[in-house]
Amino acid sequence: HTNPESYNNEEWYIDSGCSNHMNGHRDWFVNFDPKEKSTVKFADSRATQVKGSRNVLVKREDGRQIVITKVLYVPGMTTNLISLGQLLEKGCSVNSVKGFLEIYDKAKRLVMKAPLAKNRTFKVSLNTIESQCLSASMLSDDSWLWHLRLGHLNFRDLSLLKSKEMLTGLPSIKIPKKICDNCLINKQPRNSFSNFTASKASEILHVFYSDVCGPIDTPSLGGNRYFVSFVDDLSRKVWLYLIKAKSDEFRIFKDFKALVEKQSGKCIKILRTDGGGEFTSGEFEGFCKEHGIVHEVTAPYTPQHNGIAERRNRTILNMVRSMLRTAVYVLNRCPTKRLGSMVPEEAWLGSKPSVKHLRIFGSLCYRHVPDQRRKKLDDKSEAMIFVGYNSTGSYKLFNPKNQQVLFSRDVYFDESSSWA
């Protein structure tokens, strides 16, 4: 292993002899997992214990952030090591040019560039970034609280909502220096799509995009493993339905069509989908023709042609996989590039929505039990988990004890706690 000439907390050594990334700073880890237990041996035959693992978030000298994954925590270790073998195993490539070791990711983007030191080692300066996890102190800060209530919406868009007064009930927002560890772990970077131009809507219901997503490994309580979304091109408002199989999409589309056309007094004119079998059956095509709907099917291997629906589905999944309908509810109150100073809910309804009622998904809450539904010595409230919103203004609650879902307006929230 490397024997550095001088040690610096911010320096990482790229080592071809170590089997894993390693460091000795417990506080550098994001979502630390103490379950990893093993022994590592050094070149001088010393052996020491591994006490956990997880990811470390660092910033290069140029300011770009990098996530070093699967780093072993070795207490007492005074050198930060990056395993060259582990990088290669992940799909990275290595190039040696004029005294520098260059590391490229799968997309051939330069990730690290380490100069050759006097002792013939390669080291790179990487500053660690402190992350912020859910805590009571975090919830006392309005900016963090609303970041969580709006499904981990990025702080740039959160500030935009406030500065352009796109919502009512939102306090002043300050962009924090720390990052959210849940956003780091659950939100993956997306490649941008090409500027493909298709039919543009002149009014709501003119153009709709639809996409089916799934199967999702863990089914919902109702046994659903897919969801189908519909996105209105003009307003960017989203509707989402949980389904058990892709074949349910046709039935859902007929119900959806009846709902939005009744609400708006307009008719769907164009439906854009991919070439999936659920959208190209003779029955589906016949229904579209019967109702005067132009069904535009994207060309094979060009998902960007239905990019609006697919990007919306990816955003919904990023917000959190277990809160699909709630994610859509929140998403309709978040900014989009198309609308500028308006959120989809206002573009659809014509009035500015309020967010005063929003709460953190999954937080512990207490539902008031009406007098007529309890006995004299029964508790006046019962503990529940907040899982969503209802169009009537009530909250959707889940009781883990009896697996029941119910709705209530009279709820007390403890957003700093979760069901234990």
96 exposure class (CB count in 10 Å sphere: 0-12, 13-18, 19+) = exposed
Q: What strands lie across the sheet with 411-418, from one edge to the other?
A: 404-408, 395-399, 381-389, 363-368, 411-418
Catalytic residue among 15, 181, 211, 232: 15
Give the angle subtended at the CA of 155 by the CAs of 152 and 159, to the nearest 5°: 125
Give the angle subtended at the CA of 243 by the CAs of 237 and 245, to the nearest 5°: 130
CA atoms within 13 A on the CB side of 375: 2
Would you list the DSSP string of 331-354? HTTS--TTTSS--HHHHHHSSPPB
Determine the Cα–Cα distance for residues 371 and 409; give it in Å rounded to an integer. 15
343-348 long-range contacts, CB within 8 A, separation 24+: 343/161, 343/166, 343/167, 344/232, 344/235, 344/236, 344/237, 344/238, 345/237, 346/166, 347/204, 347/234, 347/235, 347/236, 347/237, 348/204, 348/232, 348/235, 348/237
- Which ranges constitute the DSSP H helices of 11-154? 84-89, 136-139, 142-149
Active site annotation includes 105: no
- Which ranges constitute the DSSP H helices of 74-154? 84-89, 136-139, 142-149
Active-site residue list: 15
